[in-house]
Amino acid sequence: MSYLLRIDASASGASSISRQVADSFTAAWSGDIVRRDLALNPVDHLGAVGITARTMRADEHTPEQKAASRLQDELVQEFLGAGAYLFAVPLYNYSIPSVFKAWLDHIMVVGRTIGLGGAVPSAGRPTLIVSARGGGYGPGAPQHGKDFLVPALETILGDPNLMALDVRAITPELTYAPSVESLRHLVPQHRASLESAHTQARRQAEEFSRITATRAIA
């Protein structure tokens, strides 16, 4: 069985709800795990050196382009070597944490991880996004429609012309309820959301394990 690639993006360490729910997933996962913690070891943002290195011959690279190309190759190979993906990515200011976006920019390479009409090696691989958020973003909530993380990642990761992954999401909500006075009346809803998130994570891990095992046999 190929490994699970787990990417963590929360800056909150062990107190991160996204990490805790992701831990429930990995506890129920039956295979190997490769983990990259972008909060502890962030990758540099993609710059001109890294972009130009993609379109030049390797023997024409400057030392800086060679270094950028090595980083990109490491990240892409790590990504493509996985059979399933777990992304613990909290909602920061309505959007994607910059450390995760930087990682994405490095691995999104046409002809390697992006199809644009062609074949994609990672197509169909199961992918789980765990994205905790301080408030409520579901239908009827004041923040409904302001989640610009899950829809964006569903497009980036799941679009058939891009990375073509099989994307699911778990979104434990109201994480501010225990600590913000104006939200304390929502603590029961927060606890229910969190309990549901852990249950969903364990179920998804079991399903991902079955999917990757079946593909390995095939």
What is the side-by-side strand order in the sheet with 166-170?
33-37, 3-8, 82-88, 126-130, 166-170
Residues of the chain with pLDDT below 70 are: 1, 217-218
Q: Report pTM.
A: 0.95
Query: Which pLDDT does position 78 carry in this prediction?
Result: 97
Nearest residue to 97 via CA among 149, 173, 37, 51: 149
Superfamily name with CATH number, domain 3-217: Flavodoxin domain (3.40.50.360)
Query: Which pLDDT does position 217 carry in this prediction?
Result: 66
Q: Are 115 and 155 in contact (CB under 8 A)?
A: no
pLDDT in tens, 177-191: 999 999 999 999 999
Beta strands at 3-8 and 33-37: parallel, antiparallel or unpaired: parallel
Q: Are 88 and 169 in contact (CB under 8 A)?
A: no
**Rg of the chain on CA atoms, in Å:** 18
Residues 34, 163: Cα–Cα separation, whole Å: 20
**Which residue ranges make up each domain of the chain?**
3-217
pLDDT in tens, 186-209: 999 999 999 999 999 999 999 999
Query: Which pLDDT does position 218 carry in this prediction?
Result: 58
